């Protein structure tokens, strides 16, 4: 177990907190569905809605459909936002904190660079995957308990897409954590890149690069599948980015 | 003479173009206590890091315990860096638990003996320890690894005279057990007391290599005067 035990101890608290936030918000989002729909259906609110653009009006009216509600309020919103936060939380300090605090000397020499890198990446990826799976599956379970109709396939597609998207975002975070050797700069770089990815998803010409658009896509409601090609590309990019980060780590002065 | 460390024409130029070491060569025999001395910025820490494979040589060759230490380090070595930094938010006992899970040949029994000797409090958080106590903890962890080579960067910094004596005694015992100890220090009386051999660096170059007695014989001075003469600006020996 060696370094894996150490890394688990170090990531444990953050992981538990993020799991609680993810699960708590999943439960909350399902639970407030009826309240939100009732609020929208109030005569006063309906009157106000007449003053907003038609497109937005029809979107709000569709919220009574649970699949659409799940898409718009969870899978394309809070769920992927937390997924991005997870990627940052589990990655930004992976190397930067050890280098900044000079605790890297405790590890190096007593473990190879590959062992240090593997242990850190292993728990970071596991924490991201389990937290995202928890968010998707708890949402589905609570929806089922409250007798809402939500196809399992839709939930699984959004969840699987978000798992692979989060691993890619995590890989970006690990890269910055090592290269910048500074926790604050690593977070800022992550945020800048994530905002950039979000912006790419806005424009028609660059939408195919909009990762968040893929993770919480409305196409799933129209019967779109998980997107095998996109998953292969995301996996490959994550692998290459982590491989490059390891190469840099292997050759860097500590 | 078996060599624990062999350095041949080692040069290190950092990314910021600072030349920290300039073609230095020396050998450290097995079972010796060897000091690396020099004024601030002379290249002592860079030399120690090169021996451990923490930094990549720009040119030249380092062999530590028969292997090239970069990039994966030397598992048969235990290192105490200049900054004795550990994970601030965990307790001493948790630190021992974590350290023992990945440090090769770590002996809990040995650690307990050091903890008693150094009067360490196991249930305190590391962040609450004084610099001296942090040094004692780091030394105890490093000494509790049964390895062939101990590399100590300023090991007695921040310690009171009693604890300093404990550390020096331990270093001597290690050498008697056949271990090799390399350390850097600013305290020349310590070096005089325990070292078999030494190298003195100035601006990344070796200005002396040999024994303490040889240096004193050659210069006719005490060690402090000899050190000052060798390392003062504008002079080379």
Please judge whether B49 and A250 are an interchain contact, meaning their C-beta atoms are less than 8 angstroms apart. Answer: no
Would you give per-residue pLDDT tens digits along chain B (237 residues)?
589 999 999 999 998 889 999 999 999 999 999 999 998 889 999 999 999 999 999 999 999 999 999 998 898 899 999 888 899 999 999 999 999 999 989 999 999 999 998 888 889 999 999 888 899 999 999 999 999 999 999 888 878 888 888 889 999 999 999 999 998 987 888 888 889 899 999 999 999 999 888 888 877 777 788 888 888 764 443
Closest by CA to B183, choosing from B220, B221, B215, B142, is B142
B49, B77, B102: residue with CB nearest A2? B102
The DSSP code sequence of B83-140 is S----TTSBHHHHHHHHHHHSTTB-HHHHHHHHHHTT--TTSBGGGS-HHHHHHHHHH
Closest by CA to A66, choosing from A29, A35, A33, is A33
The pLDDT tens digits for A17-35 are: 999 999 999 999 999 999 9
- Is the pLDDT at A69 greater than 60, yes or no? yes
- Residues in chain B with CB shorter than 8 Å from the CB of A253 are 14-15, 49, 54-56
Please judge whether A103 and B102 are an interchain contact, meaning their C-beta atoms are less than 8 angstroms apart. Answer: no
In this prediction, residues A33-41 reach a mean pLDDT of: 89
B81: contact with A, CB 8 A cutoff: yes
Closest residue in chain A to residue B153, using alpha carbons only: A105
CA B39 remoteness from chain centre: 15
B147/chain A closest Cα distance in angstroms: 11
B215/chain A closest Cα distance in angstroms: 33
DSSP reduced 3-state for B22: strand
pLDDT score at B11? 96
CA gap B172, B205 in Å, rounded? 28
Please judge whether A102 and B102 are an interchain contact, meaning their C-beta atoms are less than 8 angstroms apart. Answer: no
ipTM of the complex: 0.88
The DSSP code sequence of chain A is -THHHHHHHHHHHHHHHHHHHHHHHHHHHHHTHHHHHHHHHSHHHHHHHTTS-HHHHHHHHGGGSHHHHHIIIIIIIIHHHHHHHHHHHHHTTTTHHHHHTTTHHHHBTTB-HHHHHHHHHHHHHHHHHHHHHHHHHHHHHHHHHTT----HHHHHHHHHHHHHHHHHHHHHHHHHHHHH--HHHHHHHHHHHHHHHHHHTTSGGGGGG-HHHHHT-GGGGGT----HHHHHHHHHHHHHHHHHHHHHHHHS--
> Would strands B3-13 and B59-64 be described as parallel, antiparallel, or unpaired?
antiparallel
Residue A199: pLDDT band (50, 70, 90) is very high
User: The pTM is what?
Assistant: 0.90
Mutate to test the interface with B, among A2, A107, A110 (most CBs of B within 10 A): A110
Q: Which residue has the higher pLDDT, B227 or A195?
A: A195
Find the helix or strand (DSSP H, E) in which B21 lies: strand B19-29
> Would strands B197-202 and B205-210 be described as parallel, antiparallel, or unpaired?
antiparallel
A12: contact with B, CB 8 A cutoff: no
Please judge whether B54 and A105 are an interchain contact, meaning their C-beta atoms are less than 8 angstroms apart. Answer: yes
Please state the φ and ψ torsions of residue B232, each to the nearest 5 degrees. -75, 150
Peptide bond preceding B71 in cis form (omega within 30 of 0):
yes
B88/chain A closest Cα distance in angstroms: 9
């Amino acid at each position: 177990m060696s370094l894996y035990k150490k890394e688990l101890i170090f990531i444990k608290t953050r992981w538990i907190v993020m799991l609680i936030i993810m699960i708590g918000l999943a439960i909350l989002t399902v639970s407030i569905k009826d309240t939100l729909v009732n609020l929208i259906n109030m005569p006063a609110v309906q009157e106000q809605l007449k003053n907003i653009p038609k497109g937005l009006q029809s979107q709000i009216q569709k919220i009574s459909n649970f699949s659409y509600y799940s898409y718009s309020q969870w899978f394309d919103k809070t769920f992927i936002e937390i997924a991005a936060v997870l990627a940052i939380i589990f990655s930004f300090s992976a190397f930067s904190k050890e280098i900044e605090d000079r605790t890297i000397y405790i590890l190096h020499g007593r473990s190879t660079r590959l062992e240090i890198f593997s242990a850190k990446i292993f728990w970071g990826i596991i924490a991201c995957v389990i937290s995202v799976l928890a968010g998707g599956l708890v949402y589905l379970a609570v929806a089922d308990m409250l007798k809402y109709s939500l196809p399992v396939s839709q939930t699984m597609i959004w969840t699987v897409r978000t798992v692979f998207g989060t691993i890619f975002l995590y890989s970006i975070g690990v890269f910055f954590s090592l290269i910048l050797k500074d926790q604050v700069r690593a977070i800022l770089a992550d945020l800048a890149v994530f905002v950039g990815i979000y912006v790419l998803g806005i424009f028609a010409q660059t939408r195919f690069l909009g990762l968040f658009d893929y993770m919480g896509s409305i196409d799933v409601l129209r019967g779109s599948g998980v997107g095998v090609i996109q998953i292969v590309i995301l996996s490959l990019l994550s692998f290459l980015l982590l491989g490059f980060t390891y190469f840099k780590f292997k050759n860097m002065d500590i | 003479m078996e060599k624990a460390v062999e350095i041949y024409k080692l040069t290190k130029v950092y990314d910021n173009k600072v030349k920290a070491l300039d073609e230095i060569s020396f050998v450290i025999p097995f079972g010796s206590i060897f000091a690396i001395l020099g004024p601030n910025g002379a290249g002592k820490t860079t030399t120690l890091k090169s021996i451990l494979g923490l930094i990549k040589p720009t040119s030249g060759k380092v062999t530590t315990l028969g292997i090239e230490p970069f990039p994966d380090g030397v598992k048969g070595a235990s290192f105490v860096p200049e900054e004795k930094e550990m994970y601030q938010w965990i307790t001493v006992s948790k630190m021992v638990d974590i350290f023992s899970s990945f440090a090769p040949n770590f002996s809990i029994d040995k650690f307990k003996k050091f903890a008693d000797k150094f009067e360490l409090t196991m249930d305190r958080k590391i962040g609450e320890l004084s610099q001296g106590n942090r040094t004692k903890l780091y030394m105890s962890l490093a000494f509790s690894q049964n390895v062939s080579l101990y590399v100590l960067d300023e090991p007695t910094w921040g310690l009171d005279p009693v604890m300093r004596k404990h550390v020096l005694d331990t270093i001597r015992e290690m050498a008697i057990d056949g271990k090799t100890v390399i350390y850097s220090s600013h305290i020349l009386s310590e070096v005089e007391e325990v070292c078999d051999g030494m190298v003195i660096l100035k601006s990344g170059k070796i200005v002396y290599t040999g024994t303490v007695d040889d240096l004193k014989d050659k210069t006719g001075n005490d060690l402090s005067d000899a050190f000052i003469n060798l390392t003062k600006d504008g002079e080379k020996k």
